Amino acid sequence: MKNKNMKYIFPLVLSMFASGMQAREVTSFNADWKFKKGPFPEQPVQLLSSWDQKWTDVSLPHTWNNVDMMTRHNNFYAGDAYYQKEFTVPADIKDKRLFVRFEGVGQVADVYVNDQLVGNHKGAYSAFAIDITDAVKPGETNRMMVKADNSARVDVIPINHSLFGVYGGIYRPVWMVETGKINISVTDHASPGVYIRQQVNGKKADINIGVKVDNKYDTTQQVEVVASVYAQDGKLVTQKSTQAQLLPQGTKREEINLEIKNPHLWNGRKDPYLYKVVTQIKQNGNLLDELVQPLGVRTVELKAGDGVYLNGNKYPMYGVTRHQDRWGAGSALLNEHHDEDLAMIMDIGATTIRLAHYQQSDYFYSKCDSLGLLVWAEIPFVNKVSTQESENAMQQMRELIRQSFNHPSIYIWGLHNEVYHPHNYTAQLTASLHDLAKTEDPDRYTVAVNGYGHMNHPVNRNADVQGMNRYFGWYERNIGDMKPWIEKLETEYPDNLFMLTEYGADANIDHQTEYVGEAIGDWNAKFFPEAFQTKMHEQQWGIISKHPYIIASYLWNMFYFAVPMWSRGGVPARNLKGLVTIDRKRKKDAYYWYKANWSEEPVVYITQRRLTDREQQKTSVTVYSNVGQPTIYLNGKELQGVRKGATDVHYIVDNVQLQKGMNEVKAVAGNGNNVTEDKINWTFTSEKPRGEAAKALEKVHAGF
């Protein structure tokens, strides 16, 4: 396959595709596109080139909502737009097949080649692949046209933009895939066409490799299917082959069973060891196709009232959630954006991620494989039911599982999040999604999420795990009410697998005050002080960490993200519950709270460092330290009366008297050569009455 773009071969472990000799060629198809945004009058695509609107040169990934969906309250473009690209196909393409694979188009895509419709896809977050062999003209210039439309539709999930915006555009990479006429399937719901299952029994692992093979010749073909497992040092661990007879129609699945003796286990963050599975199709000794996939040998077991067990050992589930969008890029992310997010997730000490509320980049799942993070992957069946989305929900569930089947990091499939009325319809659809997931993948768990907190809610318990989102102290009741709620569930439903799947509070990092409520915040206010969010996370993680009935918990959210239908906390179109701002530049106090509790890296951190102009002369000092009790100084004098707070890393000194003018606060912990310290400066001039800071900051428009 030749075109204007450089050839790009994916990394062997981190990618769905790999090229073996000349058997399969995967080429970047992301440069030299032209774009124009609608709305457009209804007319045949053949007339598009004559339209008066100017085309703009773009490269992929690209979205047209990277500004309006992130900055404007209920004022963004959701509709149709077009992309086109010219490319050439060599004249000697005989006996080859040509596919185009889109990683993500928001959210309905129609694809044309030379004005001929070659495919359609409904769903913004899953990949899709189209065979364009018969539509291209070898030796000539061809034109691809893509119509993308991110309008909300009742038959495509998510059916609205309410909890997050569905960005329009070809916002993930596109690849051209060239194979021979006999190939590992590319169009099996855009899956790799290879499915790896495993069963670990003591000192051996039984590995089953399922391979889907296509034959586009007019006659029956005899081929050899070879599966090989390689260690990280490149040594062959085991290999086996089988002979296959391929009829000249349909796709055939071949099975190969292998055994790994004394396997090196994939053991989470401590040791995310990955084997490499190489699957080859050969004929008369010639390589026809080859694919490389990761293999992490591991077992995951969930025990009610106890926790998660990885390879038979209880595993700490320190969970965060992640939306993919960020400032300036929207959803059109580069690999370095994913890497930056993961670096912070690893830094905070997280061991598990809920990737909400939709299928995310295959690159991100692959990086989680290599970093040892346990992943919850889900479909965007969220927020509201139309009763017309069942077919698309089932489609997206199947795509998510098949495309992500071989990632060892994924341990659970998410079926829905906070969808309710009509209850009977929703319950039946959830049960169908569960059945589909178990049919496609019998070895992983399923989970569905409710926001009401009642185990006997009519849509509940149609999945392996019941998740609940609870925002005590923010949307409901008081911060401390989490404790009796959990204890009631422990008593009444001891045998249910249960996860706390979202908790948190909004906070604008530019809104600072010492005056925060002891029990409840106000999500309807324009003033979202960081100190309240900090207090909420301190108290609630203290509760969560003492209740193993919660087998996993996921704080909401790791990062700010766009919510174009919201205008809260002084910032339009933004969910402010993240621990890190949407530009990834600033980390809140709560970030360091979790890092101190979860990370093995030494942490000593003084909170409220952004409130430099103090409101009260008599105040408190809070320090997070995971290297022992800190010695805390004010203006060089050691403070007495240090007490512990919600967990063993939480230290507080009450009734600290500031001097007028500049004050230096210092905390030191550790011993010998392993001393960690933190230092901040506070200024006190005069007492500021309650509410003054809030009134002053209500008018602040914080860009991030």
> Would you say residue 42 lies in a domain?
yes
Q: pLDDT category, 523, cuts 50, 70, 90?
A: confident
**Which of 295, 316, 332 is where one domain is finished?**
295
Judge if 262 and 324 occupy the same domain. no
- Here the tokens at position 527 are 């003033």
Is residue 691 predicted with pLDDT exceeding 70? Answer: no
For residues 216 and 186, the answer to whether their CB atoms sit within 8 Å is no
- For 366, the domain range is 300-601
CA pair distance 233, 185, nearest whole angstrom: 29
Q: What is the DSSP letter of 185?
A: -
Judge if 561 and 636 occupy the same domain. no
For residues 285 and 319, the answer to whether their CB atoms sit within 8 Å is no
Question: Measuring CA to CA, which residue among 205, 384, 209, 468 is closest to residue 311?
Answer: 205
> Would you say residue 180 lies in a domain?
no
**Beta strand 275-283 with 271-272: parallel, antiparallel or unpaired?**
unpaired
Residue 462: half-sphere exposure toward Cβ, Cα within 13 Å: 28
Please report, for the domain that includes residue 375, its CATH number.
3.20.20.80
Judge if 584 and 665 occupy the same domain. no
418 counts as catalytic: yes
CA angle (169, 173, 175) in 5-degree steps: 125
Mean pLDDT of 409-422: 98
The pLDDT, as a whole number, for residue 692 is: 60
The active-site residue, picked from 418, 530, 538, 615, is: 418
Judge if 160 and 208 occupy the same domain. no
> Would you say residue 187 lies in a domain?
no
CB burial class (10 A; 0-12, 13-18, 19+) of residue 40? middle
Is residue 14 predicted with pLDDT exceeding 50? Answer: no
> Would you say residue 17 lies in a domain?
no
Dihedral (C-alpha) 418, 422, 423, 428: value to the nearest 10 degrees? -100
Q: What is the DSSP letter of 189?
A: T
Judge if 147 and 51 occupy the same domain. yes
The pLDDT, as a whole number, for residue 50 is: 60
pTM, to two decimals = 0.95
Judge if 118 and 230 occupy the same domain. no
- Here the tokens at position 499 are 């996860």
Ramachandran area for residue 473 (φ above 0: left; ψ -120 to 50: alpha; else beta): left
**Which of 295, 326, 358 is where one domain is finished?**
295
Please report, for the domain that includes residue 72, its CATH number.
2.60.120.260
Question: Measuring CA to CA, which residue among 411, 441, 48 is closest to residue 210?
Answer: 441
Model confidence pLDDT, tens digit, residues 211-249: 999 999 999 999 999 999 999 999 999 999 999 999 998
**Residues facing 80 on adjacent strands:** 149
Model confidence pLDDT, tens digit, residues 334-361: 999 999 999 999 999 999 999 999 999 9
For residues 223 and 248, the answer to whether their CB atoms sit within 8 Å is no
Is residue 703 predicted with pLDDT exceeding 50? Answer: no
Mean pLDDT of 6-35: 61
Instruction: Quote the number of domains for the chain.
Output: 4
**Beta strand 643-644 with 604-606: parallel, antiparallel or unpaired?**
unpaired
Please report, for the domain that includes residue 635, its CATH number.
2.60.40.10
Judge if 570 and 663 occupy the same domain. no
Q: pLDDT category, 13, cuts 50, 70, 90?
A: very low
The pLDDT, as a whole number, for residue 51 is: 64
> Would you say residue 15 lies in a domain?
no
Q: What is the DSSP letter of 630?
A: P
Judge if 223 and 372 occupy the same domain. no
**Which of 251, 273, 295 is where one domain is finished?**
295
> Would you say residue 548 lies in a domain?
yes
For residues 247 and 215, the answer to whether their CB atoms sit within 8 Å is yes
Judge if 284 and 316 occupy the same domain. no
CA pair distance 50, 63, nearest whole angstrom: 24
Three-class secondary structure of residue 156 per DSSP = coil
Exposed e or buried b per residue across 473-512, where buried means at least 16 C-beta atoms within 10 angstroms of its C-beta: bbeebebbbbbebbeebbeebeebbbbbbbbbbbbbbbbb
Judge if 236 and 287 occupy the same domain. yes
> Would you say residue 189 lies in a domain?
no
Judge if 229 and 321 occupy the same domain. no
For residues 90 and 192, the answer to whether their CB atoms sit within 8 Å is no
Give CA separation, 608 vs 495, 518, 689, in Å. 42, 16, 18
Judge if 582 and 677 occupy the same domain. no
Average pLDDT of every residue of the chain: 93
> Would you say residue 47 lies in a domain?
yes
